[in-house]
Amino acid sequence: MAEPWTSLIPLALAGAMVPAQIVVTVLLLRTPGGVAKGAAFIGGMTVVRLTQGLLFGVLLSGADSIGGGDGPGTIGSVLLLVLGVVLLVTAGRSLLTEEDPDAPPPKWLAMTDSLTWPHSLALGVGFIAASPKFWVFTLGAIAVIEEAEPAAGAGAIAFLVFVALSQAVLLTLLVARAAAPRWSAGMLEAISGWLARHNQALVVLIGLVFGTWFALKGLSGLGVF
């Protein structure tokens, strides 16, 4: 299980750094009852990812890996290549339009004060379920794990670690808000302001860096070079 982590960790890091999910989490945490709303939002995202892991893990477990060598296998390589292209396209769109293609509609963001925790839970579910990019992140991780042919239970643990790492930034913000409400209020305000000023640059940087890495990793796994 050592080699799959060379793909799983970058997948988790790229997923964790998507600005839109951080923006939504910060906005929810800054509202009255923010801890419950933030926990529900993250919980909704987690439910979708675990469901994807269960369903597609079963489907891919019977698929034979055609690839060989040190690559992640054919299925995983194709998904990494697709993710690389998606991230590069996202970077290009953001550079041209100065908008984050993954950002929720402005009216959603304006409603965070009035959202209840069940609404936040539904928002988390929809945030992952409606985003092609997050689907490719998760499916890529599942394929990489399955093609490594892990021992019984090891694959499930690896996927759970991937999910936890993918949400590490959000969980850190949630814990900080719950443990130190006064201190975290200033921190969340600072993060919100920083993201507002640098969102475009962050989307472009993440798209270019991780997009190039995943595309090259996918092409290498397919034997293109």
- How large is the average pLDDT for residues 9-24? 90
| pLDDT, tens digit, 9 for 90 and up, residues 164-182 | 999 999 999 999 999 999 8
Give me the half-sphere count of Cα atoms (radius 13 Å) on the Cβ side of residue 34: 25
Write down the pLDDT at residue 42.
97
Q: In which band, very low, low, confident or very high, does the pLDDT at 150 lie, cut at 50, 70 and 90?
A: confident
First to last CA, the chain: 24
What span, in angstroms and rounded, lies between the C-alpha atoms of 90 and 84? 10
Least confident of 41-55, 160-174, 185-199: 185-199
| pLDDT, tens digit, 9 for 90 and up, residues 47-89 | 999 999 888 877 666 554 444 444 456 777 888 898 889 889 8
Q: Which two tokens stand for residue 46?
A: 């987690």
Q: How far is CA 135 from CA 7, 40, 52, 83, in A?
A: 16, 20, 8, 9
- Region of 99 (left: φ > 0; alpha: ψ -120 to 50; beta: rest) is beta
State the residue for tokens 């034979």.
64
What span, in angstroms and rounded, lies between the C-alpha atoms of 66 and 71? 11
Write down the pLDDT at residue 44.
97
What span, in angstroms and rounded, lies between the C-alpha atoms of 211 and 205? 9
Domain boundaries, the chain: 5-221
Q: Is pLDDT above 70 for 107? A: no
Mean pLDDT of all residues belonging to the chain: 84
Q: How far is CA 12 from CA 31, 90, 168, 194, in A?
A: 28, 18, 9, 22
Nearest partner of 80 among 28, 189, 179, 4, judged by Cα: 4
Other CB atoms closer than 10 Å to residue 162's CB: what's the count? 26
- How large is the average pLDDT for residues 37-49? 96
Q: How far is CA 68 from CA 12, 220, 222, in A?
A: 23, 11, 9
Torsion angle of C-alpha atoms 167, 30, 102, 107, degrees rounded to 10: 150
